[in-house]
Amino acid sequence: MTSLIDPSELFQDDPFRDFYNLDGFTSFALTTDVDWAPDFCVEDVLELVASAGLRLTAFATHRTEALVQPPSFVEVGLHPDTTRPGAEGIRRKIPDLLEIYPEARGLRAHRNFFGQNVAQLAKASGLDYDASVLHWRQPFCQAEIDQYGLVRMAYNWEDGIQADRGLPWSLDWVPVAGPGLKIFNVHPIFIYLNCPDDDYRRRVVKDYPDLTRAPRSALAPCIHDGYGARRFLIDLLAKLKASGARSVWLREIASAGRRS
């Protein structure tokens, strides 16, 4: 008779095992990709997370006043757009954001556009971790230390994919069960508009090539009044809070690798 393998035995030498939910749902991380959302949209997400008493890792694309001096429950990371090289390629993408957010310890590349060159630049810039890998709803998401000493970790749910695929706003889609990292991601513009799907977001923002300049007076009347991303997030935050699981920042996960 084949004996069952205890998952905790498989990860006994893994420095990140304390975040792998090996004994039930015990920890999670909530993140947000700012994606050039106006400040008032970012502030809306911060207020929702604050009301739930949870922690948040916010990946910034640009100078956002609410993140320059973030509240105590927020860790700020970088969200460089590596899909569109500037005059110097992507060499300045990370340093330029670090000038705004010098306390940042990690990044998630825009659209997860991350490769070996970005890893080298991140490490050379003094960053500790990257979270640019999406393993959609998969169990056993892990962290690892790559060849440059950068902690790489996978996240497994986000509102953008949920909406882009036309999936229902059901909490059952957020994978809290099973072992592995539980890292969930949302987008401020999606949340502020309470988008029912991605087409809705596209229609609203199409007239703003620079979304950072979209005024509240123009976006507020476009908030969807049915059940959408914002109401879903409120329900998700309530579920996470009620679970009793520990809310962590990504830098906490990364620090386990430095202690090993």
CATH number for position 197: 3.20.20.370
- Does some domain include residue 172? yes
**Residue 154 · residue 181 · CB < 8 Å:** yes
- Does some domain include residue 102? yes
Question: Is the pLDDT at 245 greater than 80, yes or no?
Answer: yes
- Does some domain include residue 248? yes
Question: Is the pLDDT at 260 greater than 90, yes or no?
Answer: no
- 74: its two tokens: 């927020």
Question: Is the pLDDT at 246 greater than 80, yes or no?
Answer: yes
Full domain range(s) for residue 60: 14-259
Nearest to 82 by CA among 111, 122, 57: 111
- Does some domain include residue 1? no
pLDDT of residue 108: 97
- Does some domain include residue 7? no
Q: What percent of the chain has pLDDT over 90?
A: 86
Residues 6 or more apart whose CB falls under 8 angstroms from that of 260 comprise 15
- Does some domain include residue 4? no
Task: Report residue 243: phi and psi, to 5°.
Answer: -65, -25
How sure is the predictor about 3, in pLDDT bands with cuts at 50, 70 and 90?
A: low
Q: What is the DSSP letter of 155?
A: E
Question: Is the pLDDT at 187 greater than 70, yes or no?
Answer: yes
Total domain count for the chain? 1
- Does some domain include residue 9? no
pLDDT of residue 91: 84
How sure is the predictor about 95, in pLDDT bands with cuts at 50, 70 and 90?
A: very high
- Does some domain include residue 227? yes
